[in-house]
Amino acid sequence: MLNIPRPAATLIASLTMLVAASGWAFAAGILNSKHNLSMSGPGSIKATNEERVCIFCHTPHHANPLTPLWSRPTSTAVYDLYESTTLVAKPGQPSGSARLCLSCHDGTIALGAFYGTSDVIPMEGGVTTMPDSSSANLKTDLSNDHPISFAYSEELAMLNGQLSLPSSLPAKVRLEEGGMLQCTACHNPHTDPYGKFLVMDNAASALCKTCHNINGWNASIHATDPAVAAGCTHCHVSHNAGGRARLLKFAAEEANCYQCHSSSGGAKDIQSAASKFYSHPMEGTTGVHDPKEDPLSAQKHVECNDCHNPHKALATLATAPVVPGSLTGVKGVSSAGVVLSTDAANEYEVCFRCHSGNSFYAPQTVLRQIQELDTRLDFDPLNPSFHPVVAIGKGTNVPSLRTQFSTSSMIYCTDCHNNDDTLQAKGPHGSNNKHILIDRYEDDTYPLDYSEANYALCFRCHDQNILLDPVISAFPPHQSHVVNNKVPCSVCHDPHGVPQVRGASITANAHLINFDIRFVTSGGAYSSVGKSCTVSCHSGTKYY
């Protein structure tokens, strides 16, 4: 049912009566509120000697033709309107009662001004227009305020997909004629039992939720964790939003999250992790991320909301390659390089948003025979070898694997790229190790004295006692190379995989062989069939 105002005649009659008699139904509510601008008002903004309450907004005589018997002039301002790429509605210039509210709340017209005369009721402290210092001064820039002055129609609700039908709204959430959503959907200027003249209590964001039916919200950790019981208003505000589009409290995207996800915020501390030397540079850009962006052509950036959906995030665990709960509801790019039309099902699809097919790459450090920064190509299941992130690997003889892994295991990108302190919040937010690695991996120095710690990353999954044993290792010369001749793993192995589209072959590039050409300066031919190797270090060596 739409809340269309009563017929004008009744309205004028009742208003005339009420205004004349200062009808107590309205008066009782308003007297103790900031809208009592008479000298008896409780707020700091009030008249020096005007006793009448209703007169600031209504007059039975010489009224502004805008109903209901409006005493005030209305602003001629042209307002900046709310806009965003996700908004379906097309808000117009303020209309209906919004123009009445804005006759004080845009700060352009004296609070004591009257329609049709130059008389002005004098206010205490020489106040004329709504003071600049008051957060109630919304100014003429409404682009940081909840959108108003559009029809909240059934069609809009359907197109948006996350809105209740307007016919299901409770009576106190009033729409104006034509289903117009105005200030009065949320505020009742005559009574203030809930604070801020709200039409109902917004505890746990109950008001927001009468209209917004956000997909996935009810089950999400941000709705269910008792620490975030306030709901929407932790991240969103209705007015004066720091981040305009989508009304986020702070313009810097991550700042909204750091309210809680910091060392003092009470929730898992991501801020400290992200401030480590090697990190995803979330503070590097503001206002570049857009939920509607095409990840393959977007300008380079990374924000929490690229990898997380704060409306849908869960705290559940999963097994590779499936997304853990924290990544629920995020868009992704498939292993075929296509922007997915549904939420990412696998963690790597979230990473491929940016680490494939676009120009988000970090500067190259390790230079390899077959050079590739597109990680999607690195992990292509058609490659002669790859770590099993996108598909089960091609290695059949990997005796070094620790007992929890086998040649049919799959692993996450975040099994390698993660916080180096495993007691802190998990995730590829930041690490003290290069390339945001969970453990140390020395890949820039040859020769390098052997120490277990240098290759701790690999030894998380591969047992060095097997790997470096000249008898049981699948590559018996590991020990002579890595320990005796101080050759780091990375001189021979690529940690990701070797792309066949760039010429990798099963003979030369099985077992993740892809030489570092800073050290293997010529030759660099390994045959996994002939088990022989020709490199600048030696030639044609057969190891068995």
User: Per CB under 6 A, which of residues 112..131 are in contact with ligand HEC?
Assistant: none
Q: How many CB atoms lie within 10 A of CB 85?
A: 10
Query: Binding ligand HEC by CB under 6 A: which of 312, 456, 481, 509?
Result: 481
By CB atoms closer than 10 A (0-12, 13-18, 19+), residue 508 is: buried
Distances (CA, A) of 90 to 25, 78, 95, 144, 372: 36, 16, 13, 15, 45
Q: Does 441 bind ligand HEC (CB under 6 A)?
A: yes
Residues 6+ apart with CB under 8 A from 25: 18
Query: Binding ligand HEC by CB under 6 A: which of 107, 321, 329, 388?
Result: 388
CB 494 within 8 A of CB 433: no
Dihedral over Cα of 206, 210, 214, 215: its sign: positive
Residue nearest to ligand HEC according to CB distances in the complex: 393
Phi and psi (nearest 5°) for 32? -90, 15
Length of the chain: 544
**Alpha-carbon span 415 to 433, nearest angstrom:** 14
Options 337-345, 389-397, 498-506, 517-525: segment touching ligand HEC (CB under 6 A): 389-397
Contact positions with ligand HEC (CB under 6 A) in 356-385: 360, 362, 366, 373, 375, 379, 385
Options 73-81, 114-122, 187-195, 499-507: segment touching ligand HEC (CB under 6 A): 187-195
| Token pair of 131 as six digits | 């003071």
**Alpha-carbon span 247 to 343, nearest angstrom:** 24
Q: Does 77 bind ligand HEC (CB under 6 A)?
A: no
Contact positions with ligand HEC (CB under 6 A) in 141-160: 146-148, 152, 156, 160
Contact positions with ligand HEC (CB under 6 A) in 492-521: 492-493, 495-496, 510-513
Binding mask 192-211 for ligand HEC (x = CB under 6 A): ---xxxx---x--x-xxxxx
Please say which residue, 461 or 503, places its beta carbon nearer to ligand HEC.
461
CB 192 within 8 A of CB 183: no
Binding mask 220-239 for ligand HEC (x = CB under 6 A): -xx--x-xx--xxxxxxxxx
Distances (CA, A) of 394 to 233, 239, 407: 50, 56, 8
Scan for tokens 């009808």, then name that residue.
23
Query: Binding ligand HEC by CB under 6 A: which of 76, 117, 118, 135?
Result: 135
Binding mask 240-279 for ligand HEC (x = CB under 6 A): -----xxxx-----x-xx-xxx-----xx-x---x---x-
Q: Does 183 bind ligand HEC (CB under 6 A)?
A: yes
Binding mask 26-65 for ligand HEC (x = CB under 6 A): xx--x---xx-x-----xxx-------xx-xxx-------
Residues 6+ apart with CB under 8 A from 233: 202, 205, 208
Least distance (Å) between residue 244 CB and ligand HEC: 9
